[in-house]
Structure 1
Amino acid sequence: MTRESRPTVTNEFKLALPKLPRQLEAVPVETLQLHDEQTIEQGLYENGSLSGCEANKVLMEKVHFKHVVFEDMALPGVEITDAIFEHCDLSNANWSEAIIHRATFLHCKMVGLDLLGSTLRNVRFSECLAEYATLRFANLKQVEIERSSFAHADFYSATLSKTRLEQSNIDKAQFSSTPLNGIDISTCEFHNLGVTMEDLQGCIISAPQAILFTKIFGLVVKEE
């Protein structure tokens, strides 16, 4: 392989972590009455529910949510900077067109989370259940997905730059029209992917996965 034809490895980067004060004031979740363009900042929110709330273009800065339920809530256009979501339930929440920067999602349930058209920078998903999540047309840069399940997730026409996928379940995820050049999925688990051979150009895979892709694309390997 010539130097020019080698894939560009884009998963080598240092993730910028959330910048939070050492001590955050505890704020009861029940005091949050969300409304359009509201700012939520400098707080530790634990053991509460915002399920079903609706508001546009909410701003969250320097916040830590722990054991908070966001299920079925609608926050289109939400902007999140320097945030930790720990043991939260974001199932079927609508966060389309979100802008998320320096955020960590740890042990979160995110089944069906809608991040359509969102922009993610320096975001980590660790040990999250994000099956059927929607990231269509999303732009991801310096994003890490580790030990999580994104099975059946939709990454159609997304942009993945400096994105790590490690030890995660991506079975039947949709990557059509999403270039995977330099993306390492060699430690991920899947039996099928929504992907074309063109999308896979330069993608880093394991030897067993190479055999699996021959079956996915209906190729026949002739033994000598």
Structure 2
Amino acid sequence: MSQTERVIRIAKPKIPRNLPLVTDFDVKIYDEDQVAGKLISNCKIEGQNAEKVSFKNVAFRNVTFTDVSFGRADIEDVGFENCDLSNIDLSGSIFNRVQIENCKLVGANFTEASLLNVVISNSNGRYANFRFSHCKKLVIADSIFTYADFQSSEFNDNKFLDTELQCCQFSGTKLKGVDMSTCDISNIGVGIDEIRGACVSSLQAVSLSTLLGLKIKDPF
């Protein structure tokens, strides 16, 4: 089995069942606080600005984050479902065993973040910023990530499935071994060195041939 065909095994979040339910999150979070063992549902989290906050064994469902900055957070064994994280600042954060499903991530800031065992599915990540991030075992599926920025990131065992990646920026990011064959990658920002070794479809290969300065001409 080739590297591009290898199955990526993602460790799932370890979130206990029957977590205490929180439906009115009016707690002020400060630097280095811990939020653990909770089901936070059907509420808003707004006006929070803290660094190095620890989130562990937490499930967020139907939560809207507004004017929130949790830089350099430690996010482990956490799930986000039907949440709006648009424009949230999670720069420099560490993610491990995190699942993000059916969420809005428009303009979310993940610069310099480390993502391990992360699955993002059925989500809208337009204009999301992953610059200088370290992504290992990251899977993005059935999502919209047009104009997202992955510039100068480190990829290892990552995969994109049925995702809109039009106009995404990948300059400075090695895509060797990354499967993008089921995605729309039109007008992505990428060079020859970055795209070398990526798994693409035959149609995608034709469109990427412009990087080599080739002109495709039918013989008849």
Quick one: which of 76, 99, 103 aligns to 1:104?
99
Q: Contact between 1:7 and 1:203, CA under 8 Å: does it hold in 2?
A: no
Tell me the TM-score normalised to structure 2 length. 0.94
Secondary structure at the aligned position of 1:46 is classed as strand
Q: Which has the higher contact order (CA 8 A, sep 6+)?
A: 1
Q: Deviations over 1:63-96 (max 9, x none)?
A: 0001111133111011100011001111111100
In the alignment, the residues of structure 2 paired with residue 29 and residue 79 of structure 1 have an alpha-carbon distance, to the nearest angstrom, of 23
Secondary structure at the aligned position of 2:22 is classed as coil
Quick one: which of 64, 79, 83 aligns to 1:84?
79
Q: Letter of the aligned partner of 2:118 in structure 1?
A: V
How far is 1:10 from its partner?
7.6
Quick one: which of 110, 118, 141 aligns to 2:136?
141
Q: Deviations over 1:98-150 (max 9, x none)?
A: 10100100000000000000000100001010010000010011111000111
Q: Find the counterpart in structure 2 of residue 175 from structure 1.
A: 170
Q: Find the counterpart in structure 2 of residue 151 from structure 1.
A: 146
In the alignment, the residues of structure 2 paired with residue 133 and residue 27 of structure 1 have an alpha-carbon distance, to the nearest angstrom, of 28
Q: Does 1:15 align with 2:10?
A: yes
**What RMSD over aligned residues (CA atoms) do the two structures have, in Å?**
1.7
How far is 1:32 from its partner?
2.5
Q: Contact between 2:26 and 2:45, CA under 8 Å: does it hold in 1?
A: no
In the alignment, the residues of structure 2 paired with residue 35 and residue 132 of structure 1 have an alpha-carbon distance, to the nearest angstrom, of 28
How far is 1:12 from its partner?
2.4
How far is 1:47 from its partner?
1.0
Q: Find the counterpart in structure 1 of residue 116 from structure 2.
A: 121
Q: Contact between 1:103 and 1:122, CA under 8 Å: does it hold in 2?
A: yes
How far is 1:22 from its partner?
1.6
Quick one: which of 190, 194, 202 aligns to 2:189?
194
Query: Structure 1 pair 11/171, CA: closer, same or farther in 2 (3 Å)?
Result: farther
Q: Does 1:161 align with 2:156?
A: yes
Q: Deviations over 1:180-211 (max 9, x none)?
A: 00111000013210000111110111011112
In the alignment, the residues of structure 2 paired with residue 183 and residue 122 of structure 1 have an alpha-carbon distance, to the nearest angstrom, of 15
Quick one: which of 35, 39, 42 aligns to 1:44?
39
In the alignment, the residues of structure 1 paired with residue 11 and residue 24 of structure 2 have an alpha-carbon distance, to the nearest angstrom, of 27
Q: Find the counterpart in structure 2 of residue 132 from structure 1.
A: 127
Identity percentage of aligned residues: 33
Q: Contact between 1:10 and 1:183, CA under 8 Å: does it hold in 2?
A: no
Q: Letter of the aligned partner of 2:92 in structure 1?
A: E
Q: Does 1:212 align with 2:178?
A: no
5+ residue gaps, structure 1: 1-5
In the alignment, the residues of structure 2 paired with residue 106 and residue 171 of structure 1 have an alpha-carbon distance, to the nearest angstrom, of 21
Q: Contact between 1:52 and 1:71, CA under 8 Å: does it hold in 2?
A: yes
Q: Letter of the aligned partner of 1:38 in structure 2?
A: D
In the alignment, the residues of structure 2 paired with residue 91 and residue 217 of structure 1 have an alpha-carbon distance, to the nearest angstrom, of 37
Q: Contact between 1:11 and 1:184, CA under 8 Å: does it hold in 2?
A: no
Q: Deviations over 1:134-171 (max 9, x none)?
A: 00010011111000111100000101111110000000
Q: Letter of the aligned partner of 2:197 in structure 1?
A: G
Secondary structure at the aligned position of 1:70 is classed as strand
Deviates more, 1:198-207 or 1:26-35: 26-35
Query: Structure 1 pair 195/11, CA: closer, same or farther in 2 (3 Å)?
Result: farther
